[in-house]
């Protein structure tokens, strides 16, 4: 049995993001060719996955051997289903991810968690009245690392009037942090800027929405879809919505692409590499290229172009501080990861040693 020819697949699959490249991928692999039906994960719980197979959306489980893999399917993943109907469908295979938004698992462990897969654009929401620059830098680094394109959405711009705040000033501050990234301003309440967001998602394109709790992510998704698909509610005293989002939903926007809502992450720990950090701090990197010493630490070295730029008021000193902090954090994580891998390796060798000793013993 081989996969259905591309033109015989349900046309709705294309609106979910299925394309020739995905199709060729399963055709070229004898193992996946035998499994007929691609589907996209729209939501996942602890033990069940909602998938859309181009015909309808239903709940399925995964084949046991997939559980042994390090990574189970998450929202946005493409999977292959066995079975011919919704009742006997099971996820048999997880297709390789084109992009993956990954964060470090909350707490002390050095495990990673994939937040969303196969996302083309990540919309980083920043409420206009409560910018947290350090958080935004982290979020942008996370997105650069994922392989998706970051775009910043400054939300709740209608509040500027009520709060007597200067929207242009807030935007300028956010633009100064979002180097090389488009910054849109939106208000889901009065519809301003929604068209610009919609323009990011032509049919088949997936946009994930991230940002702090209460930033208006779910409200924005509802506004794009045109009706309430996700619960949102009044802001509590602690600024979190009453219906704070707890799962990641992938929904289709009529006549457009797909949007994946995510819960506001309270603890945003990085799981990124140096390149992603460079992309976030490209303004500092540009100056750093002109430093006299190529290994300049931008501390007090003579001929440091970064310090000169700060002195000249071209960059904020706080930006250098957060660059250093994130560099330290990543270095720490890498060291911790090395220690863990070394421990696992030692355990493996100890086990193998034991097993071979057992065999040698008469």
CB 258 within 8 A of CB 163: no
Smallest distance, Mg ion to C-beta of residue 216, A: 8
Task: Report if residue 130 touches ligand GTP, rule: CB under 6 A.
Answer: no
Please state the closest distance from residue 113 (CB atom) to ligand GTP, in A.
16
Residue among 152, 205, 141 nearest 176 (CA): 152
- Please choose, out of 18-26, 144-152, 215-223, 341-349, the segment that lies near ligand GTP by the rule CB under 6 A: 215-223
Going by C-alpha positions, the residue among 25, 21, 30 that lies closest to residue 1 is 30
> Looking only at residues 295 through 334 of this chain, which bind Mg ion when binding is defined by CB under 5 A?
none
Residues 6+ apart with CB under 8 A from 119: 76, 99, 101, 146, 148, 206, 207, 208, 260
Residue 245 in contact with ligand GTP, rule: CB under 6 A: yes
Measured N-to-C along each axis, helices 133-146 and 167-177 cross at an angle, to the nearest 10 degrees, of 50
Among 245, 269, 280, 322, binds Mg ion (CB under 5 A): 245
Interaction between residue 217 and ligand GTP (CB under 6 A)? yes
Whether 163 and 129 have beta carbons less than 8 Å apart is answered as yes
23 binds, among Mg ion, ligand GTP, none (CB under 5 to 8 A by kind): none
* Angle subtended at Cα 299 by Cα 142 and Cα 279, rounded to the nearest 5 degrees: 20
Q: How far apart are the C-alpha atoms of 79 and 75, rounded to whole Å?
A: 11
For residues 91 and 60, is the Cβ–Cβ distance under 8 A?
A: yes
Q: Contacts with Mg ion in 131-150 (CB under 5 A)? A: none
218 touches ligand GTP (CB under 6 A) = yes
- SS3 annotation, 220-262: HHHHHHCCCCCCCCCECCCCCECCCCCCCEEEECCCCCEEEEC
Partner in contact with 113, chosen from ligand GTP, Mg ion, none, beta carbon below 5 to 8 Å by kind: none
User: Contacts with ligand GTP in 155-174 (CB under 6 A)?
Assistant: 155-156, 158-159
Contact region with ligand GTP (CB under 6 A), list: 22-30, 68-76, 152-160, 173-181: 152-160
> Could you say which of 155, 218, 222, 322 contacts Mg ion (CB under 5 A)?
218
Region near ligand GTP per CB under 6 A, out of 74-82, 236-244, 302-310, 312-320: 236-244
Q: Using CB under 5 A as the criterion, which residues of the chain lie in contact with Mg ion when the complex forms?
A: 217-218, 245
Contact residues toward ligand GTP (CB under 6 A) are: 155-156, 158-159, 187-189, 213-219, 232-235, 240-241, 243-245, 263-264
């Amino acid at each position: 049995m081989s996969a259905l020819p591309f033109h015989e697949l349900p046309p709705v699959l294309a609106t979910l993001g299925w394309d020739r490249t995905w199709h060729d991928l399963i055709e070229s692999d004898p193992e996946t060719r035998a499994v007929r039906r691609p589907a996209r994960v729209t939501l996942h719980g602890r033990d069940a996955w909602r998938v859309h197979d181009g015909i309808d959306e239903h709940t399925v489980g995964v084949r046991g051997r997939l559980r042994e893999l390090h990574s189970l399917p998450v929202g946005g993943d493409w999977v292959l289903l066995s079975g011919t109907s919704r009742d006997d469908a099971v996820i048999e295979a997880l297709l390789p991810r084109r992009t993956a938004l990954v964060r470090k698992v909350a707490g002390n462990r050095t495990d990673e968690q994939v937040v969303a897969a196969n996302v083309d654009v990540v919309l980083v929401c920043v409420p206009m009245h409560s910018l947290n620059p350090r958080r935004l830098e982290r979020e942008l680094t996370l997105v650069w690392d994922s392989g998706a394109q970051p775009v910043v959405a400054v939300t709740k711009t209608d509040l500027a009037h009520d709060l007597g705040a200067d929207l242009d000033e807030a935007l300028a501050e956010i633009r100064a942090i979002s180097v090389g990234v488009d910054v849109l301003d939106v208000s889901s309440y009065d519809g301003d800027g929604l068209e610009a967001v919609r323009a990011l998602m032509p049919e088949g394109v997936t946009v994930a929405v991230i940002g702090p709790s209460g930033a208006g992510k779910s409200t924005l998704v509802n506004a794009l879809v045109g009706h309430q698909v996700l619960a949102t509610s009044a802001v509590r005293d602690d600024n979190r919505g009453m219906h704070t989002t707890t799962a990641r939903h992938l929904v289709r926007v009529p006549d457009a692409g797909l949007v994946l809502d995510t819960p506001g992450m309270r603890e945003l720990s990085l799981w990124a590499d140096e390149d992603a950090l460079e992309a976030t701090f490209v303004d500092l990197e540009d100056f750093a290229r002109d430093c006299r010493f190529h290994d300049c630490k931008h501390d007090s070295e003579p001929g440091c172009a970064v310090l000169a730029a700060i002195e000249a008021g071209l960059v904020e000193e706080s930006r250098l501080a957060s660059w250093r902090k994130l560099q330290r954090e990543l270095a720490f994580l890498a060291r911790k990861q090395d220690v863990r891998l070394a421990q696992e390796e030692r355990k493996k060798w100890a086990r193998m040693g034991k097993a071979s000793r057992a065999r040698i013993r008469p």
